[in-house]
Amino acid sequence: MASFLIRRLVGVLPVILGVSIVIFLLVQLAPGDATTVLLGPQATEAAKAELRQALGLDQPLPFQYLAWLKRMLSGDFGVGIATQIPVTSLVGPRFLNTLILTFSSLLLAMAIGYSVGLFAALRAHSLFDRLSMSVALLAGSAPPFWLGLILVLLFAIELRWLPVSGMQDMAGAGGAVDMLRHLVLPTVTTALGPAAIIARIVRSTVLEALSKPHVRVARAKGLGRAALLRRHVVLNALPPVITITGLQLGYLLGGALLTEVVFAWPGLGSLLYDSITARDLPVIQATALVVALSFVLANIAVDMINVILDPRLREA
Amino acid sequence: MSSIPASADRAAIASETKARGGARFWRLKSFARDRAAVFSALFLLVVILGAAFAPLIGHYGPDEADNLARYRPIGTLGHLLGTDQQGRDMLARLLFGGRVSLLVGVAPTLIAGVIGLGLGLIAGFVGGIVDQIVMRCLDVVFAFPMVLLAIAIAGAMRPGVLTEIIAITIVLIPYFGRLARTATQGVTPMPFIEAARAAGGAPVTIMLRYVLPNVFSPVVVYATTLMGLMIVVGAGLSFLGLGVQPPTADWGAMVAEGRVVLRRAAHVTILPGCAILVVSLAFNFLGDGIRDALDPRTIRR
């Protein structure tokens, strides 16, 4: 178990190195001189010259990369152009808020996807099955940022049940209940698309598991429905379902970034949006790095869960 | 003596062509029976024609502001789909916006399809160190959530349609590359490739003439299924302001503009979103239809 984790972590090191190269190269994509990109258009010539010296911009690209990597590893992400605040203290609290949104969305997507998929499979070709799969198709094709605005229109503007945006009510008492109220719409927005995909996969996987010979034998032997499902269907359907759920993590993270902009949720997505508008490249780099790294780690976690659930994978 | 095998050959070729033609006909028939796919194809054709001939439809230009006709609701005389906060005709903006949105969804899929197909074909066919290098590079792109990398690339560049196309193309290449590599590895050990090698065919010739045609169809199917998602991703980038700049219309940018007047005139937000939803849905149906028609395993009963 531990050896699997260690092997997986070591195996991912080259990928992380590659990720850092891509993020380093983002500055090269930006139009204009790197010092203007990193310091902003208002920077003085003296400051630019100083930065050029500090970053070794007169040196070849590989050397620049090594110097950059060294600074990254020591936690120095530079200073935000727009805010003049160190990037690390800008990204840290935002990251936590994005994690809150992503996790609640993941839980909701799993809850909806698993239950709807299972029920649809058990009552295949019924009205519920056809209706839920049509809704899933729609939800899977809708742009999440637009879905969020429609939800705002319905539940915040028309019905006035939930707040339009933000994370905390400025005038109210605040606290956990208030944050949960603010969390509802962004979570639903982010979760619907992945929930639709999970539901479709769960349905087809369970249908397949139901037709397996050992399930038919167990049924013929008179095993009760609940025990049959628990022992022979759900357990066998789990590995592909977990893998698909893991794949949704990428969509969830990406979707959460856009949802945050719609709901002014103070996470990395809003930060990314503000940084793009302000052309604040150090913040864009740091945000991309943090999200990519958490995505890589989350994927390893998904693999670990699969290995725990399916002993056959441990040999590989 | 020599004429007999030749004619037998010809007969074999003829029957082979017939069988192939039959298979093609069967595929077409199977596709034609898929009502959702056929309807989607027709619908997309109408949308594409509408976007292409946008200047000929309606009386208004997409950027023609009219201060006296702001916030007109759907169904207003002269403005079938109403107007936005600047009094611009929504129908005209949707049609002209469709040009950009369709381009941003379709072009990257095609470009990335070609590049990914090439990379996957070479990696799978050559193997060894080339395969290792190509696949490790693709792994790096896979390490990013798709939307995040597209946003970061586009965010670093100057906003514009070309930026969006480049950003989406880059994040899509690995998906095609991996698929093409797997398909190539499935074809390479087959006897007819071995025969071509034994007959002394040059590797490049074998790759292009015998392997490529067999890798082509899964890539085409994948491209069609991805186009719906890419319309949505492209709209997302435009929504963030990474695409066309105002006043140019684009479905994603229109949602962003409508957002400001959501309370006052919801249709300005709802309509472009519906356009994205319906077109992406149609691409998904079309992709499913083509997949089912090309995949011999999904025989309809």
DSSP string, B177-244: HHHHHHHHHHHTTSHHHHHHHHTT--HHHHIIIIIHHHHHHHHHHHHHHHHHHHHHHHHHHHHTT-SS
Q: Provide the pLDDT for residue B7.
A: 44
Q: Which chain B residues are Cβ-neighbours of A137 within 8 angstroms?
A: 281, 284
Q: Which two tokens stand for residue A3?
A: 């050896």
> Is B147 close to A140, i.e. CB distance below 8 A?
no
Residues of chain B found within 8 Å of residue A148, distances taken between Cβ atoms:
none
| B98 in a structural domain | yes
In this structure, what CATH number is given to the domain that contains residue B232? 1.10.3720.10
Q: Residue B255: give the domain boundaries.
A: 43-294
CB pairs under 8 A between A and B: 145
Residue B221 lies in a domain: yes
Average pLDDT of span B49-72: 82
Q: Is residue B6 part of a domain?
A: no
Q: How large is the average pLDDT for residues B216-235?
A: 90
Cβ distance B156 to A281 less than 8 Å, yes or no, reads yes
In a domain, B88, yes or no: yes
Q: In whole angstroms, what is the distance from residue B240 CA to residue B256 CA?
A: 8
pLDDT in tens, B76-121: 777 778 888 887 888 889 999 999 999 999 999 999 999 999 999 9
d(CA A84, CA A254): 27
Contacts with A24 from chain B: Cβ below 8 Å: none
The mean pLDDT of chain B is 85
Nearest CB to B281 within list A16, A19, A137: A137
Residue B173 located in a structural domain: yes
In A, which residues are within 8 Å of B140 by CB distance? 15, 18-19, 21-22
User: What is the pLDDT, as a whole number, of residue B3?
Assistant: 38
Q: Is residue B1 part of a domain?
A: no
Of A281-285, B3-7, B29-33, B72-76, the poorest mean pLDDT is in B3-7
Residues of A in contact with B270 (CB under 8 A): 150, 153
Q: What is the pLDDT of residue B297?
A: 54
pLDDT digits (tens, 9 = 90+) for B161-170: 999 999 999 9
Higher per-residue confidence, B132 vs A226:
B132
The pLDDT of residue B23 = 64
Q: How far is B16 from chain A (nearest CA, A)?
A: 36
Chain B: give the shortest CA distance to residue A292, in Å.
5
Interface of B with A in 225-244 (CB under 8 A): 228, 232, 235-236, 239-242
- What's this model's pTM, rounded to 2 decimal places? 0.86
Interface contact flag, A157 B262, Cβ < 8 Å? yes
Mean pLDDT per block of 10 residues along chain A (316 residues) reads 82 91 87 74 79 75 85 80 80 90 94 93 89 89 91 86 74 71 91 92 88 85 82 81 84 88 91 87 89 90 83 65
More confident call, A134 vs B4: A134
Asked if B240 lies within 8 A of A296 by C-beta distance, the reply is no
Tell if the CB–CB gap between B156 and A29 is shorter than 8 Å: yes
Q: B248 at the A interface (CB within 8 A)?
A: no
Q: How many domains does chain B divide into?
A: 1
B20 domain-assigned: no
Mean pLDDT on B58-66: 80
B281 within some domain: yes
Confidence of residue B18 (pLDDT cuts 50, 70, 90): very low
Are A157 and B157 inside 8 Å of each other by CB? Answer: no
What is the ipTM for the molecules in this complex? 0.86
Between A16, A27, A143, which is nearest B232 by CB?
A143
In B44-103, the residues whose Cβ lies within 8 Å of chain A are: none
